[in-house]
């Protein structure tokens, strides 16, 4: 059985720079022993060894400083020396701390399938059979605005995923969606995370999709055994004739305040 790598860290620093506001930068050294692998893999394995700080992690004694650089160097015999550079962010800047960093945001649009009954010009598509005319329904891909945010967390995103995925926002309950935000217009489509350090930190991605009309189902119609809406439920213009055979604005997604995610 291979010996697990272990780390000795000089926590007090070997060099640094101080100004009237305190430490501006500090350089410390971590020695990782019994590191497995060859070539570049030795360096990669050393960087994820227990006891080696991660990028953006705060200094153990000076909270104004966070890790800005990690420079590993193999010195032979399964030993890797890592030079750790801590820096204080410039005025107006911010440091990223696991569990608190602002992360990166991607915005754009993707195509999603919906059931439609109008063409590209807004005209109702109708079909006729046996002397009866009805609106046609067909699948259509429509663009939906999307937001994807990724950030580092110091805990698993599993509980957040179980609580938020598949739910829509409350009124003004989604800071990333702009202001004001109408209720039920943003749907949380995914929360995923991966860890490269055995679960000490996670890179978590949050995904949301926007529907200006809301994510409620506009109409649900009675269906015959053949799966089609019988004549007499809706007319040729798509208007409901039999109110007992149709339900409007069905809420199929529960609401939750996405601001609880702290995004």
Report the chain's terminal Cα–Cα distance, integer Å: 43
| Residue 176 DSSP SS3 | helix
Which pair of structure tokens corresponds to residue 215?
A: 């994510």
Residue found by looking up tokens 């978590």 in the block: 204
Are the C-beta atoms of 54 and 46 separated by less than 8 Å? no
pLDDT at position 223 is 66
What's the Cα-to-Cα distance from 29 to each of 14, 55, 78, 193, 228, rounded to whole Å?
Answer: 7, 14, 16, 30, 71
pLDDT at position 13 is 57
Closest CA to 222 of 252, 243, 249: 243
Where exactly are the structural domains of the chain?
A: 6-87, 104-261
Residues in CB range of 50: below 8 A, 6 or more apart: 5, 6, 7, 198
CB atoms closer than 10 angstroms to residue 185: 19
Which pair of structure tokens corresponds to residue 105?
A: 């945001």
| Residue 33 DSSP SS3 | strand
Element (H, E) at 38: none
Cross-strand pairs, 30: 9, 82
pLDDT at position 11 is 47
Which residues in the chain come in under a pLDDT of 70? 1-13, 91-102, 112, 218-238, 241-250
């Amino acid at each position: 059985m291979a010996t697990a790598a272990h780390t000795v860290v000089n926590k007090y620093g070997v060099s640094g720079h101080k100004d009237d506001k305190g430490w501006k930068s500090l350089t410390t050294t971590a020695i990782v022993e019994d590191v497995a692998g060859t070539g570049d893999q030795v360096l990669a394995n050393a960087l994820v060894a227990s006891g080696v700080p991660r990028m953006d992690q705060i200094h153990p004694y000076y909270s104004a400083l966070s890790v800005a650089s990690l420079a590993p160097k193999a010195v032979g015999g399964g030993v890797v020396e890592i030079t750790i550079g801590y820096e204080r962010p410039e005025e107006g800047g911010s440091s990223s701390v696991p569990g608190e960093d602002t992360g990166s945001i991607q915005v754009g649009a993707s195509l999603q399938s919906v059931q439609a009954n109008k063409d590209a010009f807004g005209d109702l598509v109708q079909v006729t059979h046996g002397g009866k005319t009805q609106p046609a329904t067909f699948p259509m891909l429509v663009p939906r605005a999307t937001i994807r945010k990724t950030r580092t967390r110091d805990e698993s995103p599993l509980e957040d995923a179980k609580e938020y995925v598949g739910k829509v926002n409350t009124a003004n309950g989604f800071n990333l969606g702009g202001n004001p935000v109408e209720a039920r217009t943003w749907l949380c489509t995914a929360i995923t995370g991966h860890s490269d350090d055995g679960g000490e930190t996670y890179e978590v991605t949050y995904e949301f999709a926007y529907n200006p009309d809301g994510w409620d189902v506009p109409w649900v119609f009675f269906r015959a055994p053949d799966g089609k809406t019988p004549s007499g439920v809706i007319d040729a213009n798509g208007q409901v004739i039999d109110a007992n055979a149709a339900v409007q604005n069905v809420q199929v997604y529960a609401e939750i305040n996405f601001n609880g995610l702290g995004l």
